[in-house]
Amino acid sequence: MRESSNPVMRGVVRDNQTGFAGFGAGAAGAAQGAMFNQPGQQYDPYAQQYPQPAPATSRQLTVDDVVTKTAITLGVLTLMAIVSYFLVDSNDALATPLMAVGAIGGLVLVLVASFGRKQDNPAIVLAYAAFEGLFVGSISFVFGNWVVSGDTSAGALIGQAVLGTFGVFFGMLVVYKVGAIRVTPRFTRMLFAAMIGVCVLMLGNLVASFFTDGGFGLRDGGPLAIIFSLVCIGIAAFSFLLDFDSADRLIRAGAPAKAAWGVALGLTVTLVWLYVEILRLLSYFNSD
């Protein structure tokens, strides 16, 4: 089985022949040898012809596992986002520190999980959710209270962004289930290329903003910024297909139940990105 098409979950999907799901050939061979060499026991020719499979070392992954772990991860993120929002509401000076700590902490943990192949570690996944909660709560306060005009309440803006995020999520889930778009190697390469291009543009715009007012104009609320946000939303939406495909192949591969944490991590990363981009786009239409 090929590697996961999702970079966050890469390394989680492995072939059963490597023992990922607990079906190791060595254990079966050792059990056979022990059976043939037991003193006082009669040799059974059928045991060699039809060896019994080794039992799985852990319970296999199910859809319920994915749903449960994802719900727990999003629950931690939501709780921390609420705490962060009200902390900033009580002290505006906390907005920038909380955003910085949340964004940097979340990025570091994603890199540790991805390159350290620790996507199925619940401590890392939940810690990531906590850091991202700090980021999401503080940036929601900033967009809802500082960026938009007084005619739009922060609650309405955030509510619209949340509804839009989960609307896109369930819409792409339907698209995946009916097979309207298939996750092929070509589709994956094209999506990765788009992600890299967007990341390069974001980084370039950030660097340019240090020297010019507004940088390349990708985040100033103008027509170019609106187009760029729509492109980011589209890429994030199609990224859900990679998440669903990875979860589907993990289940079919007989992966252990703990692999659900890796799926939850990948889905949460995509959900956070999509939410922030929708929130940003809505702020453009509601700012002065």
The answer to whether 255 and 61 are in contact (CB under 8 A) is yes
> Per-residue pLDDT averaged across 79-107, rounded?
96
Q: How many residues does the chain have?
A: 288
> Per-residue pLDDT averaged across 247-274, rounded?
94
Question: Which pLDDT band holds residue 123 (cuts at 50, 70, 90)?
Answer: very high
| CB hemisphere CA count around 198 (13 angstroms) | 20
How much is the pLDDT for 232? Answer: 96
Task: Say which residue, 1 or 57, is predicted with more confidence.
Answer: 57
> Per-residue pLDDT averaged across 128-140, rounded?
97
The answer to whether 102 and 134 are in contact (CB under 8 A) is yes
How much is the pLDDT for 119? Answer: 87
Question: Which pLDDT band holds residue 1 (cuts at 50, 70, 90)?
Answer: very low
Q: Which residues contact 65 (CB under 8 A, 6 or more apart)?
A: 257, 260
Q: Distance (Å, rounded) from C-alpha 262 to C-alpha 125?
A: 8
pTM above threshold 0.75: yes
Question: Which pLDDT band holds residue 216 (cuts at 50, 70, 90)?
Answer: confident
Per residue in 135-190, pLDDT tens? 999 999 999 888 886 667 888 899 999 999 999 999 999 999 999 999 999 999 99
Say which amino acid occupies 61: L
> Per-residue pLDDT averaged across 218-243, rounded?
94
> Is residue 60 classed as helix, strand or coil in its secondary structure?
strand
How much is the pLDDT for 149? Answer: 64
Task: Say which residue, 269 or 56, is predicted with more confidence.
Answer: 269
How much is the pLDDT for 44? Answer: 44
Task: Give me the chain's average pLDDT, please.
Answer: 83
> Is residue 76 classed as helix, strand or coil in its secondary structure?
helix
For the record, the structure tokens of 261 come out as: 């944490």
Range of weakest confidence among 6-10, 17-21, 212-216, 242-246: 17-21
Q: Distance (Å, rounded) from C-alpha 234 to C-alpha 209?
A: 25
**Torsion sign across C-alpha atoms 124, 125, 127, 128:** positive
Per residue in 14-56, pLDDT tens? 444 434 333 233 333 443 333 334 444 444 444 444 444 444 5
Neighbours of 96 (CB within 10 A): 12
DSSP H or E stretch at residue 141: helix 122-142
